[in-house]
């Protein structure tokens, strides 16, 4: 899936603020329609317990961290989306149900009369009548026993747990869900849990995580005033809240570096913060444990087999949705619960739309088909893209663009190693694409290359397809994508023979102590290998359905 990309002069600030982790749409339902117990083969309770302890150790003295489960999302009327837990919440608890809150204390506290508590999980209670309709629930006892929580209670206990919020010097939380439905029949749904936290912890009504992220970006961008000041000036023109912000404006009015440093130092350490917890979780989640890697490997291998099977089955008479269906059938056959993101299957002009998800072209014909698809296995998402010719053979123009993207990806691979800047694969791939487009005559100036390669080359991969990470130097245990692309929509200022050619090649790389391992190498990526596999018979060749 294309990496989020910012103009180069803004990127250091965006990276510093953690703004690169753009997530796709959230999909949810009221409760899992399966056993409430952790899925077989998933992460162990010991893993989640260790993650909680590591995060707790990262908290400053006198701190408390609060995390909420993901909201239930309505699809239409009385039908909800399949529930998908907040990845951070799942990472720390293994809990897969809504209407819950986790509280971690740096120092032991008394909760509901029990002393010595460092972690407390409040969950939706057992309800046999509701469970008959929407699936089994763990309840407090199940959560404590199966998830190995020190303290667990029904969510109705949260409001009367007696947590001494005023005594904490740092209250850390992630962005509080603001678009949550209030169920009047449930006195402790997510809406009420958030409201209780806001009221009891006295969170300022005007607390703004985006503003805090901007302040943090200013602090981290202080060493580059030549970039920071133009960025803030531009932001002030675009956003009235920034233009009226006294802290920002004090920095902009500074005329010397000494005055700028004084302006930045004028802000005290905030008691309420979302950025501190964001940063700690990004550091934790960026380096995968062996337990996580086992799940990621399986998700990626399933996705690679999906690409193989589609290559064998594809022909001009199939539609985008049918090709999507083959990918997703393979995922289910290997026990992957979901797709990591909406499948992208775009033929011709549709392949030039980066996040094309409609997939409704009835016949792909002989245009290139870009397939950006990834299985989600036990919460971990793959992200593998291949581009194929339904005829089984690349045309000369298609082949030239494809091999240029392939060369760019090879350059990105070569730049991927521990200690390298996170942007190294992008810089290497972009150089090859720019030189290639100039050589083919598609562009006349190097600056024009971004028109045809508008996204970043890499992002972290894990519980989110655009996963958490520091975006600092690459480190062993990181899993990233390398995904250059070229997209030439109809009407582009170049020879029409290139129009409607969209190519992206994406692989999932594990950073090792000495280099990288391509986890998705089983999906053919060279022209010769793709054409050879497409010539093979498919298990679906004889699959026929009656006409309706």
Contact 376, 337 (CB under 8 A): yes
Buried b (16+ CB within 10 A) or exposed e, 365-382: ebbbbbbbbbbbbbbbbb
C-alpha span between 367 and 394 (Å, rounded): 9
Q: In Å, what is the CA distance from 175 to each residue of 53, 63, 179, 194, 228?
A: 22, 17, 11, 11, 25
The structural domains of the chain, ordered by start, are 45-201 (3.40.350.10), 210-270 (no CATH), 287-534 (3.90.230.10)
Sheet holding 516-518, edge to edge: 479-482, 507-511, 516-518
pLDDT of residue 216: 81
* Angle between helix 290-313 and 320-333 (nearest 10): 140
Contacts with 516 (C-beta within 8 Å, 6 or more apart), sequence order:
413, 416, 417, 509, 510
Q: Which pLDDT score, from 0 to 100, does residue 5 have?
A: 57
For residue 171, give the 3-state DSSP assignment. strand
Q: If you write DSSP's letter for every residue of 95-134 in order, what string do you get?
A: ---SS-EEEEEEEEEEETTEEEEEEEEEEPPP-HHHHHHH
CB atoms within 10 A of CB 536: 11
Which pLDDT score is estimated for 413? 98
Identify the pLDDT of residue 3.
Answer: 84
Specify the DSSP element, H or E, that contains 518: strand 516-518
The residue with tokens 């995580």 is 209
Q: What is the pLDDT along the chain (548 residues), one digit of tens a residue?
A: 998 654 333 333 444 433 333 333 332 333 333 334 445 679 999 999 999 999 999 999 999 999 999 999 999 999 999 999 999 999 999 999 999 999 999 999 999 999 999 999 999 999 999 999 999 999 999 999 999 999 999 999 999 999 999 999 999 999 888 889 999 999 999 999 999 999 999 999 888 888 888 888 888 777 788 888 888 989 989 988 888 888 898 999 998 888 888 888 887 778 999 999 999 999 999 999 999 999 999 999 999 999 999 999 999 999 999 999 999 999 999 999 999 999 999 999 999 999 999 999 999 999 999 999 999 999 999 999 999 999 999 999 999 999 999 999 999 999 999 999 999 999 999 999 999 999 999 999 999 999 999 999 999 999 999 999 999 999 999 999 999 999 999 999 999 999 999 999 999 999 999 999 999 999 999 999 999 999 999 999 989 999 99
Report how far residue 71's alpha carbon sits from residue 180's, in angstroms, rounded to the nearest whole number.
6
Distance CA 109, CA 105 (A): 7
Residue 419 φ then ψ, to 5°: 90, -20
| HEC secondary structure over 2-36 | CECCCCCCCHHHHHHCCCCCCCCCCCCCCCCCCCC
The predicted structure's pLDDT at residue 229: 85
- Interatomic CA distance for residues 118 and 502, integer angstroms: 52
- Residues 454 and 354: their CA atoms lie apart, in Å, by 9
Contact between 285 and 462 (Cβ < 8 Å): yes
Answer whether 143's CB lies under 8 Å from 149's CB. yes
Rounded-to-10 torsion of CA 162, 163, 165, 166: 50
Residue 491, burial from CB neighbour count under 10 angstroms (0-12, 13-18, 19+): exposed
- 101 near 193, Cβ under 8 Å? yes
């Amino acid at each position: 899936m294309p990496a989020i990309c910012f103009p180069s002069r803004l990127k250091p600030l965006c990276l510093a603020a953690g703004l690169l982790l753009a997530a796709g749409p959230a999909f949810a339902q009221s409760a899992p329609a399966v056993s409430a117990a952790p899925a077989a083969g998933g992460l162990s309770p010991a893993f989640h317990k260790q993650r909680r302890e590591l995060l707790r150790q990262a908290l400053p003295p006198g701190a408390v961290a609060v995390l909420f489960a993901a909201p239930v999302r309505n699809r239409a009327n009385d039908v909800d989306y399949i529930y998908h837990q907040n990845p951070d919440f799942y990472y720390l608890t293994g809990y897969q149900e809504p209407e819950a809150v986790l509280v971690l204390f740096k120092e032991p506290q008394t909760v509901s009369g029990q002393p010595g508590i460092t972690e407390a999980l409040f969950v939706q209670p057992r309800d046999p009548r509701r469970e008959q309709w929407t699936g089994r629930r763990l309840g407090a006892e199940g959560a404590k026993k199966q998830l190995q929580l020190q303290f667990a209670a029904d969510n109705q206990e949260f409001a009367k747990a007696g947590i001494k919020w005023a005594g904490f010097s740092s209250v850390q939380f992630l962005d509080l869900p603001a678009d949550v439905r209030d169920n009047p029949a449930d006195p402790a749904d997510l809406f009420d849990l958030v409201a209780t936290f806001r009221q009891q912890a006295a969170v300022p009504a005007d607390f703004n995580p985006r503003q805090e992220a901007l302040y943090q970006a200013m602090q981290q961008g202080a060493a580059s005033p030549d970039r920071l000041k133009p960025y803030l000036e531009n932001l002030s023109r675009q956003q009235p809240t920034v233009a009226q912000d006294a802290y920002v404006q004090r920095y902009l009015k500074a005329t010397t570096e000494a005055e700028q440093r004084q302006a930045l130092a004028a802000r005290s350490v905030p008691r309420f913060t979302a950025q501190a917890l964001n940063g700690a979780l990004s550091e934790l989640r960026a380096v995968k444990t062996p337990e996580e890697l086992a799940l990621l490997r399986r998700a990626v291998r399933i996705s690679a087999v999906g690409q193989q099977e589609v290559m064998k089955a594809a022909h001009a008479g199939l539609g985008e949705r049918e090709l999507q269906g083959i990918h997703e059938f393979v995922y289910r056959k290997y026990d992957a619960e979901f797709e990591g993101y909406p499948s992208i299957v775009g033929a011709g002009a549709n392949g030039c739309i980066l996040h094309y998800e409609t997939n409704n072209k009835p016949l792909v014909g002989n245009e290139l088909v870009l397939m950006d698809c990834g299985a989600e296995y036990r919460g971990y998402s793959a992200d593998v893209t291949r581009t194929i010719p339904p005829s089984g053979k690349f045309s000369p123009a298609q082949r030239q663009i494809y091999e240029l993207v392939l060369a760019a990806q090879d350059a990105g691979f070569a730049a991927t190693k521990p200690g390298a800047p996170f942007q190294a694969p992008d810089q290497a791939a972009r150089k090859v694409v720019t030189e290639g487009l100039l050589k083919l005559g598609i562009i006349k100036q190097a600056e024009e290359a971004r028109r045809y390669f508008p996204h970043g080359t890499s992002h972290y991969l894990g519980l989110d397809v655009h996963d958490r990470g520091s975006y600092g130097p690459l480190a062993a245990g990181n899993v990233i994508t390398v995904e250059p692309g070229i997209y030439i929509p109809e009407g582009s200022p170049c020879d029409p023979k290139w129009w409607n050619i969209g190519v992206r090649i994406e692989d999932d790389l594990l950073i090792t102590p000495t280099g990288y391992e391509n986890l998705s190498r089983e999906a053919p990526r060279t022209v010769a290998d793709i054409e050879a596999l497409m010539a093979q018979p498919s298990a679906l060749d004889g699959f026929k359905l009656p006409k309706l």
